Structure 1
Amino acid sequence: MRGLTGAGSSRARLSLQAVITAAAVITALGLFAAGCATGGTGARDEGPAHSDSVTGLGASPVPSPSDTYRRVDAVALVKDDPKVSATVKRDLKPCSGDHYPVDVTYGNVTGGSVDDVIVNVLTCGDAVGVGAYVYRAHDGRYENVFKTEESPVYAEVDRGDLTVTKQVYEKGDPVSNPSGETVITYGWTAGRFVQEDFHHTDYGNAVGGDATPVPGN
């Protein structure tokens, strides 16, 4: 019996463990095959995962800004527009090089599938607005749906509405210091702009440092 504790005994134990391990592997494979063959609990019952549940293909795509934004030549748009006055067209010239005094804003104020184009024509020297126009995409071209040439004027997009600001000057007011301003808000209704809000602001005429000090008690 003592001979079983030597090197021969170690080799015997290793052989026995190898046989046991092989038998366990064969048993496990047999159970796995049986499970796959039956329709009850095999792994094949689960089926492949649905790709749409993993990748979210069923969700609605979010529109890209590039889908609605169409850059235009604003200067050509104004000069080719029969609704723009001859005076504005005549005075619309480059201030330096090929830089024209126009501000162009792209935004949706008419509910169309393509962004509208808001163009403000300014003077070169003082950047005073001499005309404001809104162009809406229709049948592959842009049509003028709004204009105002009561200078000084400036049009903007405010949360989906069109706002038009007109500076008010009293006699003797410098261009840099108007006496007040009027802001009109328009909404797009039934194919045209309708005034929704109007407010006027008179600027204060106090000049800092010129007030007479109040004598102390």
Structure 2
Amino acid sequence: MRGLTGAGPERARGSSQAVIAVGAALAAIALFVAACGTGGTGTRDEGPAHASAVAGAVASPTPSPSHTYRRVDAVSLIKQDPEVSTTVKRGLKPCSGDDYPVDVTYGDLTHGSVNDVLVNVMTCGDYVGVGTYVYRDVGGSYKNVFKAEDSPVVAEIDGTELTVTKQVYDSDDAVSNPSRETVIKYGWKAGRFTELNSHDTYYSQAGGDAAAAPDN
């Protein structure tokens, strides 16, 4: 540009140095202000920022407890559990080789430091649920804190809640045609599972559509 080159090399060099010095000073001030605003730590050391921190609120310095995953031998857990009925234990045999009809799910149901274990026990072939159990870590060993053995029954972890589904038969119902399905949701409160809500779905014996009953 003609306006700058006409000033001569010494004057241009002096102007550039002044601009650089001012820019460096402003950058240092900006970094100092940012460090004061964040407490000097930047992102939280204990994990991802919560929604309150993102919105600008002051987050609690106490980290939330981390949940530890510890894999278990579900078959041994069931067979050694005195809370499991003799009928379920007797029927728990491998379908082929070492393949036992059990489903195992790990998750946070009781808000402990170690993930809880949900075990569904089924029959071979048709995989009908005969029992569902939740185990909680207590002092390094697992304790049975929930069971349902009114077959057919199956459970799943829904967030931090336990959802149990049961097929209900009337006295004259065929095995393939239950009268209704009951779904019960449980939450962990005061050291035990408490029923939160439930609903029933009634099946038409004539093959029509099922009718859902309102939640309790």
Q: TM-score scaled by structure 2?
A: 0.69
Q: Tell me the amino acid that sits aligned with residue 62 of structure 1.
A: P
The equivalent residue for 2:26 is: 46
The higher radius of gyration belongs to 1
1:62 aligned onto 2:48:
yes
Q: Which moved more, 1:68-77 or 1:182-191?
A: 68-77
Q: Tell me the amino acid that sits aligned with residue 107 of structure 1.
A: G
Structure 1 unmatched runs, 5+? 1-19, 209-217
d(CA) in 2 for partners of 1:71, 1:92: 20
Matched residue SS, 1:103? strand
Matched residue SS, 1:120? strand
Match of 1:29 among 7, 10, 13: 13
Overall identity of the aligned pairs, in %: 58
CA drift at 1:139: 2.9
The equivalent residue for 1:118 is: 118
The equivalent residue for 2:198 is: 198
- Matched-pair contact (CA < 8 Å) for 1:126–1:175: no
Matched residue SS, 1:87? helix
- Matched-pair contact (CA < 8 Å) for 1:136–1:143: yes
Q: Tell me the amino acid that sits aligned with residue 166 of structure 2.
A: K
d(CA) in 1 for partners of 2:78, 2:159: 25
The equivalent residue for 2:61 is: none
The equivalent residue for 2:133 is: 133
The equivalent residue for 1:160 is: 160
Q: Tell me the amino acid that sits aligned with residue 164 of structure 1.
A: V
- Structure 1 residues 21 and 134, CA, compared in 2 at 3 Å: closer, same or farther? same
Matched residue SS, 2:178? coil
Q: Tell me the amino acid that sits aligned with residue 116 of structure 1.
A: D
CA drift at 1:199: 2.8
- Matched-pair contact (CA < 8 Å) for 2:67–2:115: no
Matched residue SS, 2:155? strand
d(CA) in 2 for partners of 1:44, 1:198: 65
The equivalent residue for 1:77 is: 77
Q: Which moved more, 1:26-35 or 1:112-121?
A: 26-35
d(CA) in 2 for partners of 1:67, 1:28: 63
Matched residue SS, 2:145? strand
Aligned length: 181
Q: Which moved more, 1:109-118 or 1:147-156?
A: 109-118
- Structure 1 residues 71 and 78, CA, compared in 2 at 3 Å: closer, same or farther? same
d(CA) in 2 for partners of 1:21, 1:190: 80
Q: Which moved more, 1:172-181 or 1:91-100?
A: 172-181
Matched residue SS, 2:89? helix
Q: Tell me the amino acid that sits aligned with residue 165 of structure 2.
A: T
d(CA) in 1 for partners of 2:165, 2:101: 18
d(CA) in 1 for partners of 2:158, 2:141: 24
Matched residue SS, 2:142? strand
d(CA) in 1 for partners of 2:92, 2:67: 31
